[in-house]
Amino acid sequence: MSVRTRFAPSPTGYLHVGGARTALFSWLYARKMGGQFILRIEDTDRERSTDASVQAILDAMDWLGLDYDEGPFYQTQRFERYREVIAQLLDSGHAYYCDCSREHLAALRERQMANHEKPRYDGCCRDKNLPASAHTVIRFKNPLDGDVVIDDLVKGRVVINNRELDDLVIARADGTPTYNLTVVVDDWDMKMTHIIRGDDHLNNTPRQINILKALGAQLPIYAHVPMILGDDGKRLSKRHGAVSVMQYKDNGFLPEALINYLVRLSWSHGDQEIFSREEMIALFDVVDINTSPSAFNTEKLRWLNQHYIKNKPPEKVAKLLQPYIKKAGYSTDNGADLQAVLKVFQERCATLVELAEEIRFLYDDFAEYNTKQAKKQFKPAVLPILQSLQQQYSDLQNWQAEAIHQVVENTVKTFDVGFGKVGQPLRLAVTGSGKSPSIDITLALLGKQRTLQRLEWAITYIKKVDR
């Protein structure tokens, strides 16, 4: 039988990085085994599920390149099928109606907690043969003895005694099915062979196995992957920074960098850090996933992202960068050729957002200087140096890096100062921030007109401060 895996998010918010890693592992295993990867939207929580969240999930999957062979399937379109299976369980004696009130269940829970017992339904209505009514829920009749054995591909053999489980609700009083029922029916109908999901679902697995057995269904193979933690050892959340997949896109990360980073959270292949998508498919195996949680390290992700930006052809980076330039509020229509700029700058930045800001000075005039740098570099003694540079560059006909550098060398000799006494004030004058690649290449890209204009601004600024 062909391997079939699935990713089944609930559309109650964005797709977070933990979910994205689960999707990636499921996608990789299906691709490695020549199987199918299915996308299912578990949208039965009508109060919290939104169309916007569905679209956010679809957009994130598309951006990450996690293409699916079937779907997306929506649980809200399958209610009739769930009703059929619930009826089947009732007819076969594997389910029953329960009219226990909220007050009864709350009191039961309170007593159990007071006695230091595990809170669980006591089977009050299990053998009453109650009829259906507007107030009854439907419970699955869990076996009272024996063990549920899970041969988990990640965690190994897990054994749960049925006495630890209770008779869970599979349909609410209004007739809507619950999570554990819908998941079972979907996995059965969609012929899932492997369920790869977070280990927070491990408690649900024995319940779902018992329902599958009651239906006479073929059991899938399970793999429960460990959760992702923040740097502080606590479960990853908003307090650790961006956790939405699309927020990483907005922050200037590349999908291949995020995918490469996520695959290394709880999985490895020797000391290899950089993986192409083809290498991931060839090397990945579920059984190699670690059992312990992994800590999310944003700096490591930034390092990977910089690697991918640095090694991407400038023409591709230029295309990717345009939305971030537009968002930053400037245009590259007038100024140096963007691809020529990127050949110099793209290895200097960890994200596309940073890159868009780093090159801004080449296309957009700045309103002020870096305060700390201006105080350090724009002292009265530097005024004649900048005036000399302005004159020499005004006379320079060959606006190339070598000739631009020679002007700096001449100025260093003329004023008998170190290179930094010329280069640093000049860099601040033309960039506003005081940081850039080598000054000759910077000025060559900036152009003669802008260079002279910014030298004039710097000279005027120093004269005002000197007063």
Provide the b/e sequence for 295-325 (b: ≥16 CB within 10 Å).
ebeeeebbebbbbbbeebebeebbeebeebb
Provide the residue count of the chain.
Answer: 467
* Active centre residues (catalytic): 238
Tokens representing 311 are: 């090694």
Residue 92, C-beta contacts closer than 8 angstroms, at least 6 positions apart: 214
| Closest listed residue to residue 223, CA positions, set 247, 252, 192 | 192
The answer to whether 124 and 100 are in contact (CB under 8 A) is yes
Angle of helix 383-395 relative to helix 448-466, nearest 10 degrees?
160
425: number of CA atoms within 13 Å, CB side?
A: 31
Question: What gap in Å lies between CA 425 and CA 451, rounded to an integer?
Answer: 13
| Closest listed residue to residue 66, CA positions, set 46, 38, 102 | 38
Question: What gap in Å lies between CA 173 and CA 175, rounded to an integer?
Answer: 5
